Amino acid sequence: MAKSIIGRVLEKLSVLLLREPAPLVGVEEQLQWIHRELSTGTEWRFGFREELIDVAYDVEDVINVLILKSAAQGRRRGILEGFILFICDFFDQSQLHKKLERIKVKIPALPPPFVIPYARRHSADIEETDWACSSSVQDQSLANTVVSPVIEKATALLAQEYIHPEVKKKVRRVQDKFSLMNGFLKDIEAVELDDIGMVWMEELCDISRSAVDVIGLFINRREQLKRNWGGPLMRVILALDNFLSQHEFSIQMDQLHTKLLDISARRPKIVHGHSRSREVGISFSELRQKQREHRIQLEQGVENLDFVSFDDDVHALVTRLLADDNHFFVVSVVGIEGTGKTTLAKLIYHNDAVVNHFHYRAFGFELIKDVRKHFGEPGSSVSPEKRAQSFKAFLADKRCLIVLDDAHDEIFKNEMITALRDTSNGCRMILTSWVTELPSNLQIGSLYYGLRLRRDDESWALFTHAMKISIPQELQKFRREIVRRCGGLPRVIVKLANALSQKEATIEEWSSVLQQLDGDQDLWSNALSRINKDLPLYMKRCLFYFGLFPKDLDIPARRLIMLWVAEGLVQPGGGNEAPEDVAERCLIKLIAQGMVQVTQKKLDGTVKSCRLPYVLQQEWLAKTQEATFLQYHAKTRSELSPSTGLIRRLVDHLDNEDVSFGHIHGDENTTSTSLKPHYQDVLSFLSFDAREGSKPGEDLLLLLRVLDLEHVFRPKLPKQLGKLTRLRYLGLRWTFLQMLPSSISKLQNLLTLDLKHTYINTLPSSIWKVQQLRHLYLSESYRSKFMPRPRVGSLTSLQTLWGLFVDEETPVRNGLDRLVNIRKLSLTCRLTPSQDEAMLQQLEAVSNWVLKLNHLQSLRLKSDDADNQPWDLDLKPLSGHANLSSVYLLGRLKNPSIVSEFPESLTDLTLSGSRLTEDPMQTLDKLPNLKILRLLSESYVGKEMLCSLGGFPKLRILKLWKLELLEEWNVEEGALQALHDLEIRSCLKLKMLPQGLRHRTLLKLTDMPNDFTT
């Protein structure tokens, strides 16, 4: 630690001595002596960290003062002002001289030099390496989620002026302590932590959060002081406030440093025998035996998993495998044991199109057998390189498909990839694995395909299919319990179906089998073991968060993602990737690994809601308590004692047996007043009390980062809401709240404000002052609108603005149109009677605003009149919006030609009320990435529609609703090749389904004439 800090200080001192002669008058000799002593003595003083670090920080303070003086001397001054500054400089220089003399006295006071034996020096270097600064770990490593946020805040603070050197010294000390943990955190990510280690990690995360909050609040307070800097009296008052705030902040830095020293001394020991590793190479004979055992295991319990279970998966992967690309690539099918990875591989292997396309197909054990027949049995001493050459020679002239699963070791997989990766005859490989990281020697074009747990409707379809018999009506009531207990795992579903098929179809028999399933965790045991052993720590902490929600609740994905970000469980990724995008990727990865079950999906395939599988709910609730991530509320008062520790996350499940119930609901008669100190550090409060007027305890939750009251009916917000200065997430969706207090402006760290489905129709003007706000969801149905922008305030960080209402008074020009970082925008323009001209001007202003949104990803625009009928919609071409993927337009397009000027990035398009007279298919079919197209009521008012040859190459979903004038629809051969779902509703004059779409798509007809021909 000392070595790196001394190196930094010496570098700064060298630059100062070379480039800054003027400020060094009177102190240059002292600085040169200190530079010489530190340069020659650092190596032997390396073992005495704390004393040397203290000297280094003192020297760095002097350097920073001299740099600031140099900058000040470069400015031109008047004669009087220059004389005053000369006198001040004289006294400052005298103080610096005295400080440098004190530093010089400290250096000889350090222990004298002595010779360090080689062995001891080597040992010290190893210890230093454990904690040394390392290159930044990619993605969401512990270094990124725990250390980086502190470093960023500290760096921002140290760059500010007019902060006392002693304060900066303490900030640097905390910053360095965190920086030097990177190496150790990287090491513990490679091992499995026990319960004590997980508790230690939660403590470290607490300290990290505290550091980020304390430094962030101090920076915000200084920014407010600058804005309020006024007349002489005000300056005196603010100067005093600045002095007091720095004093308070200095004490907080000391407290953080003490905690860091304590937790560093208690860091868990790394036992490398428990590292997350996979088995290494085995011989051909051992591999064949392992394959035989694996085939027997596969045949047990998966014979009923057929195409019905994997329709979408087979379609997606076969399409990719048969792509017109001669380069070799690998499709890696990933999922926990029992999700049907090998079954899916077999279905693809035997698919007719696959059989006709590939000259040679083989599973790994078949390939080994064929190679042995061709070249003879290889000796045990044959090297992996030699075996790879044998495979390459055997497959050289074949367009092949090779399937390898978990039974193959890593060396064999690497041999196969090495043999095929340079081929150019269209060879493919399918890997099935529970590991989410692809082999390092795969090419960039390879595909990662996560095989998720099944949704409830899919689980029930698989269960009924596996039963092979109709289920009596009186047993249908078990549907919810069956799908919940199976957790979406196909192997468990099939096993249960097989067990019930052999029993009498009675309520008593089925109840008995379900109770036995409760205690049978064998089918999940491997999955649980691998989660505990191999899941990265940041993902474990994200998984812990599910423990806050009721067990049977389908958790909205957007809610979970925003809560993870608010708590700092994920951090921004590389390339300016937003933390919300990182959180979404984390959720997708948890789903792909079979740890999270999707319960609902959106039309575009993204996750709408999810939950933990039933078995994992039991496992992870215990884990969250062991790691002290969550204090479980079903404890008696005696169990929740001061020795238990502070409560980090508080959840109201409306359980009056809960020891926290009285405090949450403000029961002054509760006898558990001794528990109040436990609430002082609560980070998150979530309520599932839907009663009207629910009110969280006001005086207990001042350090909150998360206040989530979603679905609480008209809660009473804390009167001290403005004091929740650390709050990052305020969730008021579905609360039907009627007013938002103006004190919202004091929440300077707020990132997400969710007001969807409330009765708030006018936002307070103070909302403009919430500088860090990134996501604002408004109540579209209740016409939520903005007040004019005040002189101070800008909302420039806003990325999501959803549900905005625009009328003739809405401040679009010189207000909303300054919000140019918007990524997701949804607004409704409503015409007020007799305000046509004013609204046309507003529509133009909205159009100009949208044109400036270069980061726009999702756009939803509606324009209607007082009778809720589509009205004029003004929009300029969007071809320049390279990130735009989703567009929803409701209204009469004033410029119909924009339909031909959508960007190629577009994947989802909805048109309604557009009244296009020219066939939109002729231009939309050229969008290369369009996957979803909805042409709704009066979007097209023509009679004929044509999908041309090769058009819509990726379109999966097509909906045609209420195209009342459409009579004829033709689809040329080769068009709509990827179409999977087609819905036609109330197209009353359409005569027949196009010939090319019959028998190859899922068709849904609603309110169509009886003579419509399919």
The CA dihedral of 891, 892, 896, 902, to the nearest 10 degrees, is 0
Q: Is 892 exposed, middle or buried (0-12, 13-18, 19+ CB in 10 A)?
A: middle
Q: For residue 489, which of 436, 543, 434, 536 has the smallest C-alpha distance?
A: 434
Give the count of alpha carbons within 13 A of 349, CB side only.
21
The partner residues of 607 in beta bridges, in order of sequence, read 601
For residue 877, the model assigns a pLDDT of 93
More confident site: 712 or 575? 712
628-682 pLDDT per residue, tens: 665 544 443 333 434 445 677 888 877 666 666 666 666 555 545 555 666 777 8
More confident site: 93 or 952? 952
Alpha-helical (H) ranges within 570-716 are 579-592, 614-626, 661-664
CA angle (162 as vertex; 159, 164 as ends), nearest 5: 95
For residue 547, the model assigns a pLDDT of 85
Sign of the CA dihedral running 476, 481, 484, 488? negative
pLDDT of 791 above 70: yes
Quick one: average pLDDT of 862-882?
A: 92
* Percentage of residues of the chain with pLDDT beyond 90: 28
497-537 pLDDT per residue, tens: 988 988 888 899 998 888 877 645 666 776 677 677 777 77
446 pLDDT band (50/70/90 cuts)?
confident
55 pLDDT band (50/70/90 cuts)?
confident
Which one-letter DSSP state was computed for residue 716? -
For residue 821, the model assigns a pLDDT of 94
Quick one: average pLDDT of 756-772?
A: 92
Of the listed ranges 99-113, 473-487, 872-886, the one predicted with least confidence: 99-113
Q: Is 518 exposed, middle or buried (0-12, 13-18, 19+ CB in 10 A)?
A: exposed
The token pair that represents 439 in the structure block: 């082999």
d(C-alpha 65, C-alpha 71), whole Å: 10
CB-based contact 63:128 (threshold 8 Å): no
Quick one: average pLDDT of 366-379?
A: 76
Strands in 329-334's sheet, in edge-to-edge order, are 360-363, 400-404, 428-433, 329-334, 447-450
Q: Is 338 exposed, middle or buried (0-12, 13-18, 19+ CB in 10 A)?
A: buried
Sequence letter at residue 823: R
76 pLDDT band (50/70/90 cuts)?
very low
**Predicted TM-score (pTM) of this structure:** 0.75
Q: For residue 116, which of 50, 46, 56 has the smallest C-alpha distance?
A: 46
CB-based contact 710:685 (threshold 8 Å): no
More confident site: 449 or 654? 449
Cβ-Cβ contacts under 8 Å for 570 (sequence gap 6 or more): 140, 145, 538, 542, 564, 579, 582, 583, 586
128-158 pLDDT per residue, tens: 322 223 233 245 677 777 888 888 888 888 8
Q: For residue 881, which of 900, 860, 908, 853 has the smallest C-alpha distance?
A: 853
For tokens 């400080």, name the residue.
99
For residue 710, the model assigns a pLDDT of 94
Sign of the CA dihedral running 340, 342, 343, 349? positive
For residue 971, the model assigns a pLDDT of 92
579-623 pLDDT per residue, tens: 899 899 889 888 887 889 999 999 888 999 999 988 788 776 766
pLDDT of 757 above 50: yes
For residue 540, the model assigns a pLDDT of 82
Rounded to 10°, the helix 557-567/579-592 angle is 120
For tokens 């296009």, name the residue.
916
Of the listed ranges 71-85, 150-164, 560-574, 892-906, the one predicted with least confidence: 71-85
Q: For residue 523, which of 551, 494, 543, 552 has the smallest C-alpha distance?
A: 494
* Percentage of residues of the chain with pLDDT beyond 70: 71
Q: What is the 3-state secondary structure (H, E, C) of 497-545?
A: HHHHHCCCCCHHHHHHHHHHHHCCCHHHHHHHHHHHHHCCHHHHHHHHH
The helix/strand/coil state of 807 is coil
CA angle (59 as vertex; 185, 26 as ends), nearest 5: 165
CA 600 and chain centroid, separation: 19
The helix/strand/coil state of 208 is helix
For residue 644, the model assigns a pLDDT of 45
Q: How do 607-611 and 597-601 pair as beta strands?
A: antiparallel
Quick one: average pLDDT of 962-975?
A: 92
For residue 408, the model assigns a pLDDT of 59
d(C-alpha 412, C-alpha 387), whole Å: 9
d(C-alpha 958, C-alpha 985), whole Å: 11
403-429 pLDDT per residue, tens: 987 655 677 777 788 888 888 889 999
982-991 pLDDT per residue, tens: 999 999 999 8
| pLDDT, mean over the chain | 79
Give the phi and the psi of residue 851 in degrees, each rounded to 5: -60, -30
Sequence letter at residue 901: E
The partner residues of 611 in beta bridges, in order of sequence, read 597
Sequence letter at residue 366: E
48 pLDDT band (50/70/90 cuts)?
very low
535-552 in b/e form (b: 16+ CB < 10 A) is bbbbbbbbbbbbbbbeee
Q: Is 985 left (phi over 0), alpha (psi -120 to 50) or beta?
A: beta
d(C-alpha 236, C-alpha 338), whole Å: 71
92-107 in b/e form (b: 16+ CB < 10 A) is ebeebeebbeebeeeb
- Please report which helix (H) or strand (E) contains residue 310, including its range: helix 307-321
Q: Tell me the residue length of the chain.
A: 1014
Q: What is the 3-state secondary structure (H, E, C) of 823-892?
A: CEEEEEEECCCCCHHHHHHHHHHHHHHHHHCCCCCEEEEEEECCCCCECEECCCCCCCCCCCCEEEEECE
For residue 17, the model assigns a pLDDT of 60
206-264 pLDDT per residue, tens: 888 888 888 988 888 777 766 666 556 666 666 777 778 888 888 989 889 888 888 88
Q: For residue 627, which of 211, 144, 203 has the smallest C-alpha distance?
A: 203
557 pLDDT band (50/70/90 cuts)?
very high
For residue 180, the model assigns a pLDDT of 77
419-439 in b/e form (b: 16+ CB < 10 A) is bbbebeebbbbbbbbbbbebb
d(C-alpha 205, C-alpha 837), whole Å: 56
For residue 866, the model assigns a pLDDT of 86
